[in-house]
Amino acid sequence: MERGPVWRVLLALSLLDMSSGAPGGSEGPGAPGWVYEVHMEQVSFDKAVEGCSGGGGLAELPSQQEVSEVLLRLEDKLRGSADAQTFWVGLRKTKGECVIPHLSLRGFSWRSDGGHHWAGPGRWWEEPEETCIVRCAALKAQANGTGLGRWGLLSRPCGRPHTFICQRARGHADPPLTSPVGTEPAPARTTTASATPTPTPTPTTHSTSILTPTTRPGPGPGPDTKPEPTPKPEAEPRPPPGTEQDPKPESKPEQPGPGPPPPAKVPGTKPCPMPKLTWARSLRPEPGDPGLLTLECWSGAQPRVHCTDGRWEYLGSALDPAVVCPVSRSTAPPPPPPPPPPSPSEAGQVEVQEGGWAGLMVPVLVAVALLVLLVVLVAVAAWCCLARRSKDRAVRKAEKMAMENKEAGGKDSMETTNEKERR
């Protein structure tokens, strides 16, 4: 008697499971409130974002549940094909954000909330090139004979055409997209969205499983973030024009607030004071997001930091100069310019002031030594001259005496001769 209700319950569960598997997507226990759609049209990253807008966006895989669900969809699509296929997912790196090899997402972030969580650390099809330019990420997978074989993330230029994976809110009225690059499906998307403006709470179910707690504005009940979870103000064509005109005036009073004042106030979090970073060239607050700052490093990179509970963070951790603005020899801040050379008069004054009496004693001693040497030379020359004169005088005196002696001897001999003759 108890087997009848049990079989009825099992039959009801199997029917519910069969009814939940839509032909264009898949919804499982790992992704509550979301249906995944695999589109085989090859488009650029921006066209894929447009194709997935309206109740969803490009698929994001921050947890293992989302990864498992998407891999099941890819296994169905790639069954019987031996070629590897590349699918755009909602992962990108903006200009100024550099590749960081030791992080699981290598510096990339999910578009909806800027998170850096990745359920498959190390699952990269190919390591991304270390660069600071704009790059988008795709999921590359290859099927084998029994199921899905190798898979992993791949860094690609955002303009390259690839297939893509969308995620849509459960119960959304939009049919599966067949031509994402066309501009004609937009009116149909507007009519369906305007026909069902009330199911806005569906993104809240998505935020419980996909979004990580960040400082992005979104928990407030005012703005409706249903068409596109990304809070960036640059993507103006994403929301349907008919339904998103009302929330914009409500969110406008928030924009001028964080601009002039230094502290950044984010709804639901503590305000973050403006940081004083000596290792960054400049800081620039984002006008549309009070909890976001763009730094300008000396290398030219422009990473963005987020306000989380009263402190600024980069990639989920505190600001570290070695991670936020890595410095190399070619990107080190320029040394200060040398001071201008002083004029000759100023140089003389500076030397006298710096040297003092010690600087003056050296030339005085040199002058005295030269004077003493000159006096000695003059004295030696005078002595030599006097000695020579005295010697000449002695020689002349000796010659004169010899002459006198000779004359005196002659006279004596003459007198002696005369005396002899007289005798």
Q: What are the pLDDT digits (tens) for 250-269?
A: 444 444 444 444 455 545 55
Predicted confidence (pLDDT) at residue 20 exceeds the cutoff of 70? no
Instruction: Determine the average pLDDT of the residues in 319-347.
Output: 66
10 pLDDT above the threshold of 90 = no
Q: Per-residue pLDDT for 357 more than 60?
A: yes
Instruction: Give the pLDDT of residue 169.
Output: 80
CB count in 10 Å sphere of residue 69: 22
Measured from the Cβ of residue 327, the count of other Cβ atoms closer than 10 Å reads 14
Which of the two residues, 151 and 28, has the higher pLDDT score? 151
| 297 vs 132: CA distance, rounded Å | 12
pLDDT at residue 300 in the model: 79
| pLDDT reading at 136 higher than 90 | yes
Q: Does the pLDDT value for residue 408 go beyond 90?
A: no
**Single-letter amino acid code for the residue at 14:** S
What does the pLDDT read at residue 334? 59
Q: Contact 291/306 with Cβ under 8 angstroms?
A: yes
More confident residue, 243 or 91: 91
Tell which wins on pLDDT, 340 or 165: 165
Q: What is the mean pLDDT of residues 129-140?
A: 91
Domains of the chain (ranges; CATH) run 21-192 (3.10.100.10), 258-332 (no CATH)
State pLDDT tens for residues 158-176. Answer: 999 999 999 988 765 444 4
Q: What is the mean pLDDT of residues 311-338?
A: 70
Among 213-222, 365-374, 391-400, which range has the highest average pLDDT? 365-374
Categorize the per-residue pLDDT at 380 as very low, low, confident or very high, splitting at 50, 70 and 90: very high
Is the pLDDT at 187 greater than 70, yes or no?
no
Instruction: Give residue for tokens 């009519």.
Output: 191
Tell me the pairing of strands 85-93 and 34-43: unpaired
Average pLDDT score, the chain: 69
**Cβ atoms 296, 280 nearer than 8 A:** yes
Alpha-carbon distance of 298 to 327, in angstroms, equals: 8
Asked if pLDDT for residue 212 goes beyond 50, the answer is: no
Instruction: Quote the pLDDT of residue 56.
Output: 84
